[in-house]
Amino acid sequence: MGTCFSRGDRSPTRRRGSRRVANPAADGGGGAGSNRWARMRSSRKEEALIHERALAAAILFQQQLQNGGGTAAFDRSASLRYPNGCSKRNQALPRSSSSRARSLTDPLLQPHQLINQDIKLDDLETNHFVLVHGGGFGAWCWYKTIALLEESGYRVTAVDLTGSGIHSFDSNNIESLSQYVKPLMDFMEKLTDGEKVILVGHDFGGTCVSYAMEAFPAKISKAVFLAAAMLTSGQSALDIFSDKVESNELMRQAQVFLYANGRDQPPTAIDFDKSILKDLLFNQSPTKDVALASVSMRPIPFSPVLEKLSFSETNHGSVRRFYIETLEDNAIPISVQESMVNESPPERVFCLKGADHSPFFSKPQALHKHLVEISRIP
């Protein structure tokens, strides 16, 4: 304020003021006339500013009416969404907390956008997913899938197979597939009569899903094989992968056989070389998920991999099967997945573009969309 008053004493200001007086008689007021003119200019500036603000508010209100299609509510965040034009700093638009560039094949969508609103979950045969992890993984690997499904209204159970995840048993001491898959079988046994679930098996978890299909066909609405071993009767997981592993140099380099009973005895478990883990299993996955896996994965028991399974048409054959392929998979290449699909065609096949062997990390949104779609197939 002091600066404004002091500038009134300078000659340039006096010259500008005199030129604005059109009537010579007005000069007779001396200092009073000058103060009166200053007040008039100040008043006009304030009126102009008020008019500009009112016009801006009217435009904003009209925009909100057009966007909202109804009465616009001026909520608390309006000042953040429509910052003051006098602000000297440009405010950036909100961004995802993820530092990884999002692929168009895995769009960031809200869970309700992935659901057909015309179908209610209560109308489905079941809205309960049971997630079965692959070899070396645990229930922890499904954390993104669990969150997305639950936010969409589904029930989700993720099991830790024997010697996996937080299950305390030593995987070197697992001697059979029945022992390895016991936590899943115990869960299925406890389901009430008429209660059904959708089983989702990843990797070697596909073998476990097949085992459960033979034992509890009436309790399984659908079986989903996610980049998984999908056996036919008389096959073992080793039968499917043994020939392919020989031609998969990366797999051979990554595998580390453990001999808890001595080198003169068969291997008891299979571990992975942590330095090759990313290239083999997580070549498209975020770094933070690779870090989680590197400290969470455990050895795969060897005996269950050797075990051949026998299926019947009345049990295993009566369950609807679906397969989800992962196109950038270095552990179970797409050629191996397609070979299994061609040998025993499921009801439908889905593809995850840009997905590595761990799509629950690399393509969680796209995977979620496929699972929801499968649950809604009548």
pLDDT tens digits along 73-87 = 433 333 333 333 333
353 vs 86 pLDDT, higher one: 353
Partners of residue 157 on adjacent β-strands: 130
Catalytic residue among 128, 357, 368, 370: 357
Query: Does pLDDT of 53 surpass 80?
Result: no
Summarised one tens digit per residue, pLDDT across range 221-270 is 999 999 999 999 999 999 988 766 556 788 888 899 999 999 999 999 99
pLDDT of residue 122: 77
- Output phi, psi for 217, to 5 deg: -60, -35
**Side-chain-facing half-sphere of 350: CA atoms under 13 Å:** 22
Question: pTM for this one?
Answer: 0.71
Count of C-beta atoms within a 10 Å radius of residue 143:
15
Residue 325 is given by DSSP the state: E
Catalytic residue among 128, 133, 160, 203: 203
Q: Which two tokens stand for residue 260?
A: 């808890």
Residue 203 annotated among the catalytic residues of the structure: yes
Catalytic residue among 329, 356, 368, 370: 329
Residue 122 annotated among the catalytic residues of the structure: no
Count of C-beta atoms within a 10 Å radius of residue 112:
10
3-state secondary structure of 317: helix
Are the C-beta atoms of 375 and 116 separated by less than 8 Å?
A: no
Residue 329 annotated among the catalytic residues of the structure: yes
Own/partner pairs, 273-276, CB within 8 angstroms, 24+ separation? 276/250
